[in-house]
Amino acid sequence: MSVSGLSFSSRELRDLALAWAALGVAFAIFFAGGGRRAVESILGGGVIAPVLLSLLTAGVGFLVHELAHKVVAVRFGQIAEFRADYGMLFLAVVSSLAGFIFAAPGAVYHRGRLTSREHGLIALAGPAVNVGLAALFLPVFVLGTVLGSEFLALIGSRGLMINLFLAAFNMLPFGPLDGKTVLGWSKAVFAGFFVPALVLTVGAFLLGFGF
């Protein structure tokens, strides 16, 4: 399958769909408080709304983050595909039942020769797109508030918070996170992105976004 010049194999499309669905379930349970009571609460109150909310916020945030890596990698002539990590997706659901969540749905793997700058830009693409998504969710929150739609306001609030968190967290300069690659390329770019993202994330949390 090809979309706007990007090619997706059947396996990649399957992995994207499975990761999106698993994250939707995991985050629905997590935001309901986790554990057996959360599952009973979701089932008792209707499973569609909480899962849909998670698919449109956490699910979109995670998967668009990964697709941004793919788009930029392909732009630099790489062969790039997303691969879901089934073990980590299972862990995401199990951890949500325990009242916390650890979500690493998979990664975009690419091959080809790259400069340090190109590596850095590919890594930066994911967090940058999350900041852009956060900006798009803000007017959704405002519109929901104005219209008195609790569900729409919650989509905007949670989408904003989750995407800011993803941007800041993935820019931490440790292990396999994007921040380590960006820092290795340019300390100025790293600081110029990470510090504002962290400040915005903390500010959104203190203002109560996402809850």
Domain ranges in the chain are 1-113, 126-211
What backbone torsions phi and psi does residue 21 show, to the nearest 5 degrees? -65, -45
Q: pLDDT tens for residues 152-174?
A: 999 999 999 999 999 999 999 98
- Other Cβ atoms within 10 Å of 148 Cβ, number: 8
Q: How many residues does the chain have?
A: 211
Say what the pTM is.
Answer: 0.89
Confirm if 173 and 190 have CB atoms less than 8 A apart.
yes
Task: Determine which one of 12, 66, 81, 118 is catalytic.
Answer: 66
pLDDT score for 131: 97
What backbone torsions phi and psi does residue 33 show, to the nearest 5 degrees? 105, -5
Q: What is the average pLDDT across 181-200?
A: 96
Q: pLDDT tens for residues 130-145?
A: 999 999 999 999 999 9
| CA atoms of 204 and 165, how far apart (whole Å) | 9
pLDDT score for 51: 86
Token pair of 159 as six digits: 């989408």
Reported as a pLDDT band with limits 50, 70 and 90, residue 19 is very high
Q: Which of 50, 102, 109, 105 is nearest to 78 (CA)?
A: 109
Report in angstroms the alpha-carbon separations of 205 from 84, 143, 202.
Answer: 29, 20, 5
Annotated catalytic, 66?
yes
| CA atoms of 4 and 32, how far apart (whole Å) | 38
Strands (E), the chain: 2-3, 6-7, 79-84, 106-111
pLDDT score for 187: 97
| CA atoms of 62 and 126, how far apart (whole Å) | 9
Q: pLDDT tens for residues 82-119?
A: 999 999 999 988 888 888 888 888 899 988 889 999 99
Place of tokens 């995401």: 92
pLDDT score for 173: 94
Confirm if 86 and 43 have CB atoms less than 8 A apart.
no
Residue type, position 196, single letter: P
